[in-house]
Amino acid sequence: MAITMYDLAGVDSDRRFSPFCWRARMALAHKGLEVETVPWRFTEKDKLPQPSQGRVPVIQDGDRVIHDSSAIADYLEEHYRDRPSLFGGEVGRGLTRFVQNWTETVLQTGLVRLVVLDIHGHIGPQDQEYFRRSREERFGSPLEEVVKDREARLPAFRSSLDPLRRTLERQEFVAGKAPAYADYIVFGAFQWARSISEFELLAADDPIRGWRSRMLDLFGGLARQTRAYGG
Amino acid sequence: MAITMYDLAGVDSDRRFSPFCWRARMALAHKGLEVETVPWRFTEKDKLPQPSQGRVPVIQDGDRVIHDSSAIADYLEEHYRDRPSLFGGEVGRGLTRFVQNWTETVLQTGLVRLVVLDIHGHIGPQDQEYFRRSREERFGSPLEEVVKDREARLPAFRSSLDPLRRTLERQEFVAGKAPAYADYIVFGAFQWARSISEFELLAADDPIRGWRSRMLDLFGGLARQTRAYGG
């Protein structure tokens, strides 16, 4: 029986834009597991398997319900040990956490301030009300103000990607010769941007672009199947 | 026969301060290999095994001479496979490169602008001339200017350590439950600062401090044996 995954969607249900859901989606594909996704919106708290944390991704695998992308990755690694590993062992798992923390404190933190208004533009009216209120509270200013000077902030954002850029100048994937869960974590952020925004994050000659294309090609072009902008 | 390692030293030959040499020193200890270090100064280019790149670390293992900390780690992993692994497999090796690139583009880049004048204060007159000239060329300003506002830059430097901090809030080592080469890369930077500067990089309650102490305790307190400041 296929695993069910609750996946954040825009007003267009084919637009799947959560960076955390993309981590889970790619991890499921890495393990070669069949999945049926259920489009889910921010304000549909009661449509998740109960008890819920009110957030996605959530997967249901037979009787088991697992919340949170990190818990899902750990679950998949543990319960599908005979499938390709997401971490490549304990050192890989430890270092994946470092990549995750870099992604969440540097990459996603910089990114959201470039595209948060574009997210708002792709969700339904009820979600918009929730999204604007919760994000404006977090940023302490209107969404329009948050992104206003995004062109001016782009050089600093691009510079903050130096550790990723230098890594991808020297190897095909973040995890080396082949992709692993650390790649899916970083890719989730780019897929998030790509699915809701026309704003190009990377310079034309940025070596990160080649990796982004390779990630889009994985698993039969899985990540190209969502409604998105650009490459 | 013990491996010989050429190790950057200050005017006091017990002050070993190169972040790259500390990577190699810790990697050798991780592999449980006996080592004899040879103190070496910036301007002693002709004292290295030839042909040389004029830089340390260099190790000599029997007939083999290996230059460069990354090449040394790869050599040790390959030639001492029966000893504890530095990378924990191919994914670990790939992700270690990400940690290295973060260390070199963020941590060490921020750090050198805080302590570069202190390095100058701990090397001999001939080295000082070389060091000042080469570093002032790199920074485009006198060393005194580079560090002048270091107190003011400390909050931004500390904030740049967020990926490391968050990782060490959640696990004992960068590589997870036990230290691996990625830990030695990051630690090399802290050991560099500690061996030549009284300037405290970390706030009193920073969780990175606990890890730094654990690193100093490894291998019988190996990293405490150099002349240094503070904990």
DSSP assignment of B127-193, as one string? HHHHHHHHHHHHHTS-HHHHHTTHHHHHHHHHHHTHHHHHHHHHSSBTTBSS--HHHHHHHHHHHHH
Give the global pTM: 0.97
Residue partners of B85: CB distance under 8 A and separation at least 6: A91, B77, B92, B180
* Best residue of A98, A164, A169, A170 to probe chain B, by most B CBs closer than 10 Å: A98
| Model pLDDT, residue B117 | 97
Low-confidence spans in chain A with pLDDT less than 50: none
Taking one residue from A and the other from B, the number of pairs with CB-CB distance under 8 angstroms is 122
From first to last of the 231 residues of chain B, give the pLDDT tens digit.
Answer: 799 999 999 999 999 999 999 999 999 999 999 999 999 999 999 999 988 889 999 999 999 999 999 999 999 999 999 999 999 999 999 999 999 999 999 999 999 999 999 999 999 999 999 999 999 999 999 999 999 999 999 999 999 999 999 999 999 999 999 999 999 999 999 999 999 999 999 999 999 999 999 999 999 999 999 999 875
Indicate the residue of A102, A173, A178 with minimum beta-carbon distance to B102: A102
A2 neighbors A36 (Cβ within 8 angstroms): yes
User: How many other C-beta atoms lie within 10 A of the C-beta of residue A177?
Assistant: 11
Rounded Cα–Cα distance for residues B82 and A103 (Å): 34
Rounded Cα–Cα distance for residues A194 and A131 (Å): 19
The nearest CA of chain A is from the CA of B103 a distance in Å of: 8
Return the bridge partners of B36, or none: B4
Q: DSSP per residue over B27-67, as a string?
A: HHHHTT--EEEEEE-TT-GGGSPSS--S-S-EEEETTEEEE
Cβ burial, residue B215 (10 Å; 0-12/13-18/19+): buried
Please tell me what DSSP assigns to residue A222.
Answer: G
| Model pLDDT, residue B153 | 96
From chain A, pick out residues whose CB is under 8 angstroms from the CB of B171.
Answer: 94, 97
Does B27 touch chain A if contact means CB atoms closer than 8 Å?
no
From chain B, pick out residues whose CB is under 8 angstroms from the CB of A180.
Answer: 91, 94-95
- If we measure between CA atoms, which residue out of A62, A66, A27 comes closest to residue A48? A66
Does B175 touch chain A if contact means CB atoms closer than 8 Å?
yes
Q: Is the ipTM of this complex over 0.95?
A: yes
From chain A, pick out residues whose CB is under 8 angstroms from the CB of B163.
Answer: 98, 101-102, 105-106
| Model pLDDT, residue A231 | 53
Rounded Cα–Cα distance for residues B54 and A111 (Å): 42
Query: Which tokens in the block code for residue B205?
Result: 């309650």
Rounded Cα–Cα distance for residues A107 and A201 (Å): 11
Does A159 touch chain B if contact means CB atoms closer than 8 Å?
no
* Best residue of A74, A87, A95, A167 to probe chain B, by most B CBs closer than 10 Å: A95
From chain A, pick out residues whose CB is under 8 angstroms from the CB of B98.
Answer: 95, 98-99, 102, 163-164, 167, 174, 182
Rounded Cα–Cα distance for residues A197 and B82 (Å): 50
Indicate the residue of B89, B101, B177 with minimum beta-carbon distance to A92: B89
Does B169 touch chain A if contact means CB atoms closer than 8 Å?
no
CB-CB under 8 Å, A96 with B171: no
Query: Which tokens in the block code for residue A56?
Result: 């996605």
Residue partners of B137: CB distance under 8 A and separation at least 6: none
The chain-wide mean pLDDT, for chain A, equals 96
Please tell me what DSSP assigns to residue A16.
Answer: B
Scan residues 109-138 of A and list those with Cβ closer than 8 Å to B. none
User: How many other C-beta atoms lie within 10 A of the C-beta of residue A140?
Assistant: 8
- If we measure between CA atoms, which residue out of A12, A39, A7 comes closest to residue A25? A7
CB-CB under 8 Å, B97 with A167: yes
Indicate the residue of A89, A93, A171 with minimum beta-carbon distance to B97: A171
| Model pLDDT, residue A230 | 73
Indicate the residue of B91, B94, B171 with minimum beta-carbon distance to A97: B171
User: How far is CA A110 from its chain centroid?
Assistant: 14
Cα separation values, A148 from A112, A115, A141, Å: 12, 10, 11
